[in-house]
């Protein structure tokens, strides 16, 4: 019995919202995602505060998250919804 389905593993990456670094300790990744940064995260973004007529921009932190995702695919030479086509 030859395997007709060869699932592809995809790695999806995302970043959490930019917040003040001191508040970023407890930031969680969305459900199903794994946090790959720790502590306050990475200071690679800016967040904004509106004060009366001005908008101030500050350096903020965010976490990077990944999720492994299996994408069903047929092996080479097979096709169709159940990979039975040749």
Does position 2 have pLDDT exceeding 70, yes or no?
A: no
State if pTM tops 0.75. no
How crowded is residue 53: how many other Cβ atoms within 10 Å of its Cβ? 5
Does position 46 have pLDDT exceeding 90, yes or no?
A: yes
What are the structural domain ranges in the chain?
Answer: 11-66
**How far is residue 72's CA from residue 86's CA, in Å, rounded to a whole number?**
17
Please enumerate in sequence order all residues whose Cβ is within 8 A of that of 22, keeping only pairs 6 or more positions apart, or say none: 40
Question: Residue 4's pLDDT band (boundaries 50, 70, 90)?
Answer: confident
Residues in the chain: 86
Which whole number is the average pLDDT over 15-35? Answer: 96
Hey, which residues does 49 pair with through a beta bridge?
Answer: 56
**How far is residue 45's CA from residue 59's CA, in Å, rounded to a whole number?**
6
């Amino acid at each position: 019995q030859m395997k007709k389905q060869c699932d592809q593993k995809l790695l999806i990456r995302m970043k959490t919202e930019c917040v003040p670094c001191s508040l970023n300790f407890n930031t969680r990744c969305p459900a199903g995602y794994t946090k790959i940064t720790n502590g306050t995260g990475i200071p690679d973004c800016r967040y904004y505060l509106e004060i009366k007529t001005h908008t101030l921009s500050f350096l903020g932190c965010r976490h990077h998250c990944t999720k492994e995702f299996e994408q069903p695919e047929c092996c080479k030479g097979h096709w169709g919804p159940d990979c039975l086509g040749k």
